[in-house]
Amino acid sequence: MDLLPAKIQHYVEGLSYTSDDIGMSKAQVRIYDDYVLKVEKERPKLAKMVEVMRWIEGKLPMPRVIATEVEDGYRYLLMSKVKGHMALDEYYLNRPEELVTLLADALKMLWSIDIADCPKTFDLEAELEEARYRVEHNLVNMDRVEPETFGEGGFKDPEELLQWLCDNKPETDPVFAHGDFCLPNVFFEDGKVSGFIDLGDAGIADRWYDIALGYRSLKHNFDGTYGKVYKSVDPDELFVKLGIEPNWEKIRYYILLDELF
């Protein structure tokens, strides 16, 4: 992205930045002092994301859309920069009690939003169709899956997993959901939730969709999956902080669905 659209260039010309490669997204991300610029191939999902971001503005601490432009098949999205530190910051990973409490607060904050006129609803049928496309075109990254998903005691292959997902669709408990509720996408400051980022999948969805991905992210950021092992944390404490009993069937379902993406 050497040459930026004029609408974007107007805000960032001459400003220094760093590149951000945290996360699984293939987007190019520039971090400025006050802005974040995200560039990725345009698709209908991104236009809907911008619509949701504008709808949620003022309801949640999140990036504000400064400018957006589609040029040569790419969407350029310039946003305000959220305050605080990622939930995977060393400070929080070394203080699991505080981390789990704040993650529960973040989920409650999402669920408090009135979804009556939310412009986007998570479409499980559409997700399964996209999963089918990925399976049929060998796009499933087998290096990223949970070790127990395939093989002995698990599914034979992605095709069998996809069929199981189609045969076992859960009933939903609709709330406003982040859609990718994991530690890199939640920010804290001064003991409070200060921001949410990467809202590409945000919208109305099952409450347990965010819980499932958050539970897995919490577990893996402590157990050494991403390299370093931290103080022991019981991810089940998340349910205690939320004041709910875990629905393991739904948690398993949404984690398995994510395996195909």
Question: What is the set of active-site residues?
Answer: 180
> What is the C-alpha separation between 121 and 177, in angstroms, rounded?
10
Neighbouring-strand partners of residue 28: 39
In a 3-state reduction of DSSP, which class is residue 45? helix
What is the greatest pairwise CA distance in the chain? Answer: 56
> What is the C-alpha separation between 87 and 103, in angstroms, rounded?
8
Helices (H) and strands (E) in the chain, counts: 9, 10
Neighbouring CB atoms inside 10 A of 183's CB total 20
Q: CB under 8 Å, gap of 24 or more: what pairs does 225-232 form?
A: 230/93, 230/94, 230/96, 231/94, 231/96, 232/96
The DSSP line for 127-191 is: HHHHHHHHHHTT---TTSS-TTTBSTTSBSSHHHHHHHHHHTPPP--EEEE-SS--GGGEEEETT
- Which residue type occupies 93? L
Neighbouring CB atoms inside 10 A of 148's CB total 10
Q: Which H/E stretch holds residue 39? A: strand 35-41
